Amino acid sequence: MNDPRHSIFRDAGRDRETAEQIPDTPQTRAPSYRLAFADESFLCREELRPVRLQLELLKPQLILDERQIDSTVVLFGGARIPSPAEKAGARTQTLAELSHFYEEARIFAQKMTEKSIETGNREFVIATGGGPGVMEAGNLGAEQAGGVSIGLNIVLPHEQAPNEHVTPDLCFNFHYFAIRKMHFLMRARAICVFPGGFGTLDEMFEALTLIQTGRMERVPFLLFGRSFWETIINWKALEDAGTISPEDLDLFRFVESADEAAAIIEEWGPAPARDDIPGR
């Protein structure tokens, strides 16, 4: 990151380098002597959690600001959905049948990135979770269009490296799910949700809740695959039970193709945040 300093004080990086070159003595080997900001053991202490939260929020924010990225198009979706070329090895028949959404995600990301390139890669930048499946398709489409894309990875016990199509200097790694989800939505100009599992559902419902409660402006909220979403979620039952209002079902739209999604985003007009919650 650039460091446009406006200070006459010696900078922290130089002091860290100097501290690494001091004589080796019992005093300099002591953990207490390490510079606090260069002491990984200290930074990982439980009491430092508030500082780590702040750092994890700030680092991607500064990098995205320096790249002048003003808005993103977010792609949520399952890591287990294979590409059409790999559907024969899918774990279930349903996953094999959902493989066409990998291709729709790739094409959609390509279309959005072509639009992004016209803005100098500042608007409509594709953002995914940086993993396999639908996420990989989104980053691949952006790469094929000749643009950039963001990958917001998170450390998991079984997780692999980010997919190879994320723009390297826009690839981030998170410890805190909450901060990662903030970065998904802070610049979101559209949210597109493909079939997926627990993680996709978590991301989808959190974003819908923010829009429903007026904590976030309305943006195009597109669910790819009506059949999938109406099979796993009984939206009408929620309305009939009164736990959501009929107006809440207008916060999102079902789409089937990249072309349909791109057209909705292209035609979207200003939609301010709600100032009340219907039905309350």
Q: Are 192 and 253 spatial neighbours (Cβ–Cβ below 8 Å)?
A: no
What is the model's pLDDT at position 3?
54
pLDDT for 1 beyond 60: no
Pairing of strands 125-128, 188-193: unpaired
106 closest CA partner among 261, 227, 263: 261
Per-residue pLDDT band at 7 (split at 50, 70, 90)? confident
Q: What is the 8-class DSSP label of residue 274? A: P
**R_g over Cα of the chain:** 22
Note the pLDDT tens digit of each residue in 127-151. 999 999 999 999 999 999 999 999 9
From CA 11, how far away is CA 17, in angstroms rounded? 11
Pairing of strands 221-224, 188-193: parallel
Note the pLDDT tens digit of each residue in 78-123. 999 999 999 999 999 999 999 999 999 999 999 999 999 999 999 9
What is the model's pLDDT at position 6?
75
Q: Are 123 and 116 spatial neighbours (Cβ–Cβ below 8 Å)?
A: yes
The pair of three-digit structure tokens given for residue 107, joined into one six-digit string: 């094409």
Note the pLDDT tens digit of each residue in 35-75. 999 999 999 999 999 999 999 999 999 999 999 999 999 99
From CA 174, how far away is CA 177, in angstroms rounded? 7
Q: 95 Cβ partners below 8 Å, 6+ apart?
A: 80, 81, 82, 87
Q: What is the pTM of this model?
A: 0.93
What is the model's pLDDT at position 271?
86
- Distance of CA 10 to CAs 13, 14, 32, 36, 178, Å? 9, 7, 22, 16, 35
Question: Which alpha helices (H) appear in 187-257, and where do they start and end?
Answer: 198-212, 226-232, 235-241
Residue for token digits 């349909």?
A: 260
The pair of three-digit structure tokens given for residue 64, joined into one six-digit string: 């995205």
Longest dimension (CA), the chain: 73
b/e code 37-66 from CB counts within 10 Å (16+ = b)? eeeeebeeeeeeeeeeeeebbebbeebbee
Note the pLDDT tens digit of each residue in 230-263. 999 999 999 999 999 999 999 999 999 999 999 9
For 193, the 3-state DSSP assignment is strand
In words, the CATH class of domain 70-267 is alpha beta
Q: Are 134 and 197 spatial neighbours (Cβ–Cβ below 8 Å)?
A: no
What is the model's pLDDT at position 158?
83
pLDDT for 30 beyond 80: yes
Q: Are 251 and 221 spatial neighbours (Cβ–Cβ below 8 Å)?
A: yes
